[in-house]
């Protein structure tokens, strides 16, 4: 027995000396072991890729997300391929309120409609004078307008007019101008100044205002409109042009009679009358003033402009009384100041 153990020890000692494992360094053994572990991990990952599959209706993509195939998948893929700028350029839709929420909301005060017999504010509907009165009337008859209706603008607010610094507003104006022989002296200055001021006043009228011009001496002469001197034309461009021609055509001549001219001016039912004269004689009598005041009945304002030489005399002046009795103003001008110096 002891001899057998001795022989075994001898063989083991010889094997250890001759074994190649004993001559391998420790770092080489460590490298071999780590390499073996790395190979095992790579092999296991490959088996995971090739071995696992999803159901019949889907597939496992490389991103690790399981996608269920649907009939609209092709359309979704096409949409994914569109440029991203298209989505970025689209405005963000505002949040829309739910219909049910809006319908459930009630106003703080129940709205009430006016009754049918309640009068409403405003001018109301405009009645046309040419509308047919019966179903059998011609429906095109309301399209046919008279010349006066075609030329007449709609009624609007009254504007202010200035005549020799007498300023007033209204819709209907009458200018009463003395054209007696005395208006030509001195040197034609009075009639020349009267013409220029009258033309300037007409240029200040708007197209919705009406006017009439009356020149008088012992007779009266009014401007004709469409051959009629009893109308008040609107201040359109063409009518103002015709008025300028009428003004330039009148020459001073004859004597003076105030009352017929003033009565004719009142017959036009104006809002304002501008009355210009240079005649101190004859004066308007008290009977004349009373008749004018009666005919006017406070409807028209009468502004009086007097031409003269020297200083004005207001005491006992019939023009000053006429203006005060008819809510107007009185002005005096020395015609010597109108003379053009050469």
**What pLDDT score does 130 carry?**
42
**Cis amide prior to 186 (ω within 30 degrees):** yes
Question: Band of the pLDDT at 297, cuts 50, 70, 90?
Answer: very high
Question: Band of the pLDDT at 307, cuts 50, 70, 90?
Answer: very high
Residue 16, pLDDT > 80, answer no
Residues in a beta bridge with 273: 174, 302
Question: Band of the pLDDT at 147, cuts 50, 70, 90?
Answer: very low
How many CA atoms within 13 Å lie on the side-chain side of 145? Answer: 9
- Residue recorded with tokens 């129940």: 110
Q: Could you tell me what percent of the chain has a pLDDT over 70? A: 60
Q: What is the rounded average pLDDT for all residues in the chain?
A: 76
Q: Longest Cα pair distance anywhere in the chain, in angstroms?
A: 186
**What pLDDT score does 250 carry?**
96
**What pLDDT score does 35 carry?**
86
32-36, 178-182, 276-280 — which one is most confidently predicted on average?
Answer: 178-182
Residues in a beta bridge with 334: 308
Q: Which carries the bigger pLDDT value, residue 246 or residue 310?
A: 246
Q: Which carries the bigger pLDDT value, residue 91 or residue 255?
A: 255
Question: Band of the pLDDT at 135, cuts 50, 70, 90?
Answer: very low
Q: In what order do the strands lie in the sheet with 210-216?
A: 220-222, 210-216, 172-178, 272-277, 301-308, 330-334
**What pLDDT score does 289 carry?**
98
Using an 8 Å Cβ cutoff, are 270 and 300 in contact?
yes
**What pLDDT score does 229 carry?**
93
Cα angle 219-201-279, degrees, rounded to a multiple of 5: 35
Backbone phi, psi, residue 142, to 5°: -75, -5
Looking at the whole model, is its pTM more than 0.75? no
Residue 190, pLDDT > 50, answer yes
Q: Which two tokens stand for residue 204?
A: 């200040």
Average pLDDT estimate for 249-262? 96
Question: Band of the pLDDT at 113, cuts 50, 70, 90?
Answer: low
- Residue recorded with tokens 């009439």: 212
Average pLDDT estimate for 230-248? 97
**What pLDDT score does 102 carry?**
45
Question: Band of the pLDDT at 301, cuts 50, 70, 90?
Answer: very high
In the chain, the domains with their CATH numbers are: 172-338 (3.40.50.410)
Q: Look at the chain and count its residues.
A: 342
Q: Which carries the bigger pLDDT value, residue 239 or residue 113?
A: 239
**What pLDDT score does 136 carry?**
42
Question: Band of the pLDDT at 316, cuts 50, 70, 90?
Answer: confident
Average pLDDT estimate for 129-150? 39
Between the alpha carbon of residue 159 and those of residues 154, 162, 210, 249, 251, the distances in Å are 14, 10, 11, 28, 30
Q: Which carries the bigger pLDDT value, residue 15 or residue 42?
A: 42
């Amino acid at each position: 027995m002891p001899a057998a153990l001795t022989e075994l020890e001898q063989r083991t000692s010889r094997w250890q000396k001759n074994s190649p494992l004993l001559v391998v360094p420790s770092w080489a053994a460590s490298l071999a072991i780590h390499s073996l572990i790395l190979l095992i991990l790579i092999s296991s990952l490959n088996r995971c890729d090739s071995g696992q599959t999803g159901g019949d209706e889907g597939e496992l993509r490389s991103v690790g997300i399981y996608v269920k195939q649907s009939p609209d998948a092709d359309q979704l893929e096409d949409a994914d391929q569109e440029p991203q700028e298209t989505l970025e350029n689209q405005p963000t839709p505002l949040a829309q309120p739910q219909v049910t929420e809006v319908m459930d909301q009630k106003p703080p005060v129940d709205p009430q409609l006016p009754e049918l017999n309640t009068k409403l504010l405003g001018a109301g509907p405009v009645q046309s004078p040419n509308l047919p009165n019966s179903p059998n009337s011609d429906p095109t008859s309301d399209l046919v307008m008279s010349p006066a209706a075609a030329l007449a603008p709609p009624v609007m607010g009254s504007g202010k007019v200035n005549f020799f610094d007498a300023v007033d507003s209204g819709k209907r104006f009458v200018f009463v101008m003395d054209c007696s022989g005395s208006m030509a002296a001195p040197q034609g200055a009075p009639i020349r100044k009267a013409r220029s001021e009258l033309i300037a006043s007409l240029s200040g009228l708007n197209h919705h205002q009406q006017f009439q011009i009356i020149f008088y001496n012992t007779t009266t002469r009014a401007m004709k409109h469409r051959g009629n001197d009893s109308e008040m034309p609107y201040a359109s461009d063409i009518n103002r042009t015709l008025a300028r021609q009428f003004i330039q055509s009148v020459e001073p001549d004859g004597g003076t009679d105030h009352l017929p001219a003033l009565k004719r001016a009142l017959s036009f039912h104006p809002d304002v009358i501008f009355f210009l004269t240079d005649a101190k004689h004859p004066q308007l009598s008290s009977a004349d003033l009373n008749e004018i005041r009666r005919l006017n009945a406070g409807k028209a304002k009468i502004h009086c402009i007097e031409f003269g030489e020297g200083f004005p005399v207001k005491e006992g002046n019939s023009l000053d009384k006429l203006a005060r009795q008819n809510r107007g103003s009185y002005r005096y001008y020395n015609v010597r100041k109108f003379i053009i110096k050469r």
